[in-house]
Structure 1
Amino acid sequence: MIVFRDPAEVPADFAPSVTVVGKFDGVHSGHRAVIARARVDAAARGLQVVAVTFDRNPLALLRPDVCPESLIGVHQKVQLLSETGVDAVLVLRFDEELAAIPADDFAQTVLVDALHARSVLVGADFRFGRGGEGTADSLAEYGLSHGFDVHVVDEVRAQEHGRRVSSTWIRELLAEGDVTSAAKLLGRLPSVWGEVVHGHKRGRAIGFPTANLSPDLEGFVPADGVYAGWLVDQDSAGGLRPGVRRPAAISIGTNPTFDDVASRQVEAYVLDETDLDLYGHFVELRFVQMLRPMTAFRGIDALIEQITDDVTRTREVLLKAESGR
């Protein structure tokens, strides 16, 4: 998959495309439905599939007071879009200059001149251009005279609830610690991604060394608690082999037993591994199920007993999850 960061980076001879445009926050099942439709269209017409997205939620610039926390960061978004089978991704920097571009100019520069779009797929609430002046209908009118058609893809709704699958709903679930339900809407396990940094090393002292993620990690951090999940090391083979998934008990919170941690920490103990050196590595933590809320314990012995139980339950949860795949 090719990644472009500016329309000017797209070669002049870039093949005609079916283009999907959106924030793609979370790259959830609703987004995947749009992309799947684009892939079918592209296959039938012998075209490429290109996803156009932004490096941040436009509201972060336009209305920071109401901008929600993103489900994923740019690194995660590009990786997840690549897994959907698109041929290229154009990640636009949403700054004041881009925000001021009239809708027709955006369509001309991005869709016509750069991507040679023959078909454009968007969601029902699609807006683009200065002040959100452009809509799916106005884009369709523009496309009539510029060689592309526009299709609005129907919303994906959860059968059990009848509610539209959305980033807002997924954020609500993660804030409650319900990573299992969030995974159903995402079509994948919710995850965070970041660099492993040095912590207090208390886990190592009691036999459960953890990989602590930097506070500037990417991804929506679920509610405080302990989770069964997976750690995927995406760096060199100095620790785990790149891309290898390992079972992990993941802790999120301020470590109330010691009461000296000022901010929330995300850390993971890789089961049965006590000598891994992951410092400086970038890892992904994938959440399967919440085991318990964060709790303060009366002493180290009680804490060790609970962590031992957490590890046992993590094995059980992951084994059950894998057998059900």
Structure 2
Amino acid sequence: MKTLQTYSGLSPSDKGAVIALGNFDGLHRGHQAVIAEAKAIADDLGAPLGIGLFRPHPYRYFKSDAPPFRLMSAAARAEIMPSLGVERLYEIPFDEDLREMDDVEFVERVLHQGLGIKHVVVGEDYGFGKNRCGNVESLTRLCGERGIGVTPMKPVGLHALYGKYGSTEIRKALQQGDVFHAAHMLSRPWIVDGIVQKGQQLGRTLGFPTANLPLGDLVVPKLGIYCVETRLEGEDVWRPSIASLGTRPTVGGEGVLLETFIFDFDQDIYGQHIQVRFRSFIRGEEKFDSLEALTAQMKKDEAGARSLFGIA
């Protein structure tokens, strides 16, 4: 997959794609349906399949002080996209110039002159342009005037009880600790990835050495203990693990941190990029009266997680 971080000055060989346009945070089942439709159209037209998204996320651009909300890192998203048939990723810079474009300017400057697309697929509720002045109707009209096809897509969901597959719904599920429903909507377990950092190394003294990851701009799920799996950089295997997500109240911790204990593992992985995928919620975060009480509970948590994995 080729990544292009601008919409201006592209070579002719980087133009002419069919694109799915949106934020694609999470690449959940709803996003996958949009991308699959774009791929079918691209195959019919003999054109490459592209994704058009904005960087930074518009929500972060307008609300720089908003709480973390992302469902996946850019690295995780880039790893998954090729498996969906994506050949080009257009990262459209969301800056002051783009913010001031109305719907006509956006279609002309970005989609037509810039990316030179043949067709665009969006959700039927897609809004764009300054103050979201554009919608699917204006997009269809403006693109049609320039020979660009437009396909709007209806939301995708399981059934009326659960509603549509959407990033907001996935965030809510994670914040409730419902990693099963989140995984269903994503079509894969939710993943936190990043560089392992050195912490207080208290876990090592308690017999539970952990790999520590800050969440960065990822949404904060329900705090507590989770059954997880960990993949090390350069490996394909997912290692059974248990993780604590929280503020570490027993030892006076500050800020939310993901601390992952990999079973039957003893390697120095500080500075390595790892991935942690969430399998099940075990219990909420607690403050214990002593380190001894904390250690005793950690041993119970480990035994329970090992049982879930079917390992001794």
Letter in 2 for 1:302: A
> Counterpart in 2 of 1:252?
245
Q: Is the 8 A contact 2:68 2:219 kept in 1?
A: no
Q: Deviations over 1:215-246 (max 9, x none)?
A: 5x352231111111111223xxxxxx444422
CA distance in 1, matches of 2:238, 2:160: 31
Q: Is the 8 A contact 1:60 1:67 kept in 2?
A: no
The 1:189/1:44 distance shift into structure 2, 3 A limit, reads same
Q: Deviations over 1:141-182 (max 9, x none)?
A: 112221211111111122261512211111111111111111
The 1:140/1:319 distance shift into structure 2, 3 A limit, reads farther
3-state SS of paired residue (2:98)? helix
> Counterpart in 1 of 2:194?
194
3-state SS of paired residue (1:127)? coil
The alpha-carbon deviation at position 77 of structure 1 amounts to 3.0
Letter in 2 for 1:219: L
CA distance in 1, matches of 2:36, 2:51: 12
The 1:125/1:197 distance shift into structure 2, 3 A limit, reads same
Give the counterpart of 1:263 among 248, 255, 258: 255
Q: Is the 8 A contact 2:8 2:114 kept in 1?
A: yes
Residue pairs, 1:64-75, within 5 angstroms:
69-75=69-75
The 1:96/1:292 distance shift into structure 2, 3 A limit, reads same
Q: Does 1:293 align with 2:284?
A: yes
TM-score normalized with structure 1 length: 0.88
Q: Does 1:308 align with 2:299?
A: yes
Q: Is the 8 A contact 1:171 1:220 kept in 2?
A: yes
Aligned residues with identical type, % of pairs = 31
CA distance in 2, matches of 1:8, 1:317: 52
CA distance in 1, matches of 2:217, 2:9: 26
Q: Deviations over 1:40-87 (max 9, x none)?
A: 221222111110001233133335577872222333333333332211
The 1:297/1:63 distance shift into structure 2, 3 A limit, reads closer
CA distance in 2, matches of 1:65, 1:305: 39
Residue pairs, 1:81-160, within 5 angstroms:
81-159=81-159
Letter in 2 for 1:229: V
The alpha-carbon deviation at position 306 of structure 1 amounts to 2.3
Letter in 1 for 2:223: D
Aligned residues: CA RMSD: 2.2
CA distance in 1, matches of 2:181, 2:74: 23
3-state SS of paired residue (1:50)? strand
Instruction: Say which is worse superposed, 290-299 or 123-132, in terms of deviation.
Output: 290-299
CA distance in 1, matches of 2:267, 2:93: 37
CA distance in 1, matches of 2:139, 2:75: 29
Q: Does 1:228 align with 2:227?
A: yes
TM-score normalized with structure 2 length: 0.91
Q: Which stretches in structure 2 are left out of the alignment for 5+ residues?
A: none
> Counterpart in 2 of 1:210?
210
The 1:249/1:64 distance shift into structure 2, 3 A limit, reads same
